[in-house]
Structure 1
């Protein structure tokens, strides 16, 4: 039998899968996130540990650390995802109605287990670590700025506010007291509180 001509015979090669980072399973990621919610509700942020999260999720600690480098960043990810759902821009037809609706949604969000358990601790961490402060700002404030801008824009269109009304000032007047009461002081909202706060915010915006 004649030998194959080396000029026309292609060398046999073995194909290998490219090396790279392992693909993270989404079902494991979701199990870990669910475990974080459960741990927050059970023991709070300060007592929560990666070991307990992994145990509750039914995974090893390595699976958690592949995704997040610490419990702080794990919770930041949850807060960011929670905030990404966004506050709906109200469109009630009046400034008071929009402000009152925004306060109702914001108060519900701030009393969510993630917010109520984690935000006070994150504010402490933000004072120590600039990257945490940036993450909190992006997660908690940027979306609300857009909602406040929509409220102001509608109020200007209705003739309730002047054209130069400042959305940043509006946001501070509307939700600032609410953040203080729920996230800092961590006090309950008495009956009629949101109604009074909405009326006060509208009066201040029109002043």
Structure 2
């Protein structure tokens, strides 16, 4: 006798139908490790899957290709690295922003992958779009530093926000990623003081 549909239990998906959060995170880590070792152009999804302890199908169940995989991985990590809470003053917020940026630039994978991204940007419009989205994520977070200072009355509402946002990361990026020098705490404080002074000077410029 045929069972009525209402008598049949709904079965939970299993096996390939379930996308494990832990496996997704492992795939992200494997992607970045392979990227740092081989560069994006030579990156192999087979090696990424093997490093994560999975089959290549685990990647294609999540992303249609290498670019989409990289896009989601980069933006997921960028969002985690971007946020920090209100520290109460412009200089304190700038110092917290610089400290977070220093932590990112100290990471050995970031130090190898970031220059490769810029090299790929010169060759690939798709990678350029990925890079721009990551940059905008960080810029949106930096904008909170400026907007909080305006709300506190530390900066005028007429401030040129775009130039102020350029000031925030540039000195840290130059020192750590371009000249490849370390940045100890004492000097980090000086960079925060200098950047704060520059933004305030911009606010008073004619």
- If the length of structure 1 is used for normalisation, what is the TM-score? 0.73
Contact kept, 8 Å, 1:32 with 1:54, in 2: the verdict is yes
Tell me whether 74-83 or 48-57 shows the greater mean CA deviation. 48-57
Distance 1:92-1:62 versus aligned 2 partners, 3 A rule: closer
Structure having the higher Rg: 1
Counterpart residue number, 1:115: 110
Distance 1:92-1:190 versus aligned 2 partners, 3 A rule: closer
Pairing partner for 1:69 from 61, 65, 69: 65
Contact kept, 8 Å, 2:142 with 2:165, in 1: the verdict is yes
Give the secondary structure class of the aligned counterpart of 1:178: helix
CA drift of 1:68 comes to 4.8
Distance 1:59-1:145 versus aligned 2 partners, 3 A rule: closer
Distance 1:192-1:68 versus aligned 2 partners, 3 A rule: farther
- Are 1:164 and 2:154 an aligned pair? no
Q: How many angstroms apart in 1 are the aligned matches of 2:45 and 2:57?
A: 10
Contact kept, 8 Å, 1:44 with 1:117, in 2: the verdict is no
Contact kept, 8 Å, 2:78 with 2:138, in 1: the verdict is no
Q: How many angstroms apart in 1 are the aligned matches of 2:68 and 2:97?
A: 28
CA drift of 1:204 comes to 1.0
Distance 1:126-1:194 versus aligned 2 partners, 3 A rule: same
Give the secondary structure class of the aligned counterpart of 2:104: helix
Counterpart residue number, 2:181: 187
CA drift of 1:63 comes to 4.1
Stretches of structure 2 that go unaligned for 5 or more consecutive residues are 1-15, 202-206
Contact kept, 8 Å, 1:148 with 1:170, in 2: the verdict is no
1:37-90 C-alpha deviation (Å, 9 max, x unpaired): 45457x3646753332222233334543553523x5533332111012252244
Distance 1:151-1:54 versus aligned 2 partners, 3 A rule: closer
Counterpart residue number, 1:101: 96
- If the length of structure 2 is used for normalisation, what is the TM-score? 0.73
CA drift of 1:104 comes to 0.7
Stretches of structure 1 that go unaligned for 5 or more consecutive residues are 1-22
Pairing partner for 2:125 from 130, 133, 151: 130
Alignment length, in residue pairs? 182
Q: 1:28-47 to 2 correspondence within 5 Å?
A: 28-39=23-34, 43=37, 45=39
1:151-199 C-alpha deviation (Å, 9 max, x unpaired): 2222223332222113322221111122233333333224522111111
Distance 1:38-1:149 versus aligned 2 partners, 3 A rule: closer
1:122-178 C-alpha deviation (Å, 9 max, x unpaired): 011011112211211112x22222233222222223332222113322221111122
